[in-house]
Copies of this chain bind each other. A is one copy, B any other.
Amino acid sequence: VQNIGAVVFDAYGTLFDVHSVIVRCEAEWPGQGRSLSQLWRTKQLEYSWLRALMDRYEPFHVVTAEALAYACQALGLPLSDETRAALMEQYQHLTVYPEAPSALAALGPGRRLAIFSNGSPAMLEPLVANAGLTELLTSGWLSADEVRLYKPTPGAYALVPSRLEVPAKRTLFVSSNPWDVAGAKNFGFLVAWVNRTGAVFDQLGLTPDLVVTDLSQIPEHIGQGPLTS
């Protein structure tokens, strides 16, 4: 089990700070940036889950735009087409967490490194390129859009071993989102939870194999004995 052939990363919240949109939100609506960013993110996740449950898949950029529209309406913030476009554009320029590039560089030799995200190709391609991660992600990015299912559906995660050609039990899936960690564990990956904020893990009957406070701690845990208990 310690023979990890692939390390696969969630994008939003794990490699990239979704709340880096606060600056742009704050410029538009002073004093409301943090509230808007949080509600936007909450609804983005909720809508992806609800659409998956209702069997009404729409790509993540649609879900993200709908979540933004809801959040602005709920907070009483008028949203022009121009501002909507500017905020959606922010999703192509999210801040990469500072330790991510060196962690990827340390993990890379002899392993497949990839992103697996709910994000649609139109979101992921510019995001990875703008962050300068294209070379470091040796196996690039995989979008759940390819199977039109969202995480944490097992059928979504199944895309990863099928495309990377590494078995799930030899793949370490890394996410800062507890529901994603749980979903990946439920599918059969080894899983690491990046808990940057001292959060409490969700009660879903599943626990991470590894807990770290940032991505820099991942390399030291790989290849030194069994990861699972």
Contacts and interface: CB of A to CB of B under 8 A. Distances in A.
A33 to B, nearest CB: 19
The 9 closest A-B pairs by CB, nearest first: A66-B203, A74-B200, A70-B203, A54-B186, A73-B200, A49-B49, A54-B152, A53-B153, A53-B152
A143 to B, nearest CB: 18
A203 B67 contact: yes
A46 interface: yes
26 contacts: A43-B202, A43-B203, A46-B46, A47-B202, A47-B204, A49-B49, A49-B50, A49-B53, A50-B152, A50-B179, A50-B204, A52-B53, A53-B53, A53-B152, A53-B183, A54-B153, A54-B154, A54-B204, A55-B186, A56-B186, A56-B204, A66-B203, A67-B203, A70-B200, A70-B202, A74-B199
A58 interface: yes
Contacts of A205: 56, 58, 66
Interface of A: 43, 46-47, 49-56, 58, 66-67, 69-70, 73-74, 150, 152-154, 179, 182-183, 186, 199-200, 202-205
Contact of A55 (B50, B55, B69, B154): B154
Contacts of A66: 203-205
Given A70-B202, A203-B67, A204-B47, A183 B153 contact: no
A73 B153 CA distance: 26
A208 to B, nearest CB: 15
Contacts of A55: 154, 186
A53 to B, nearest CB: 5
A53 B154 CA distance: 8
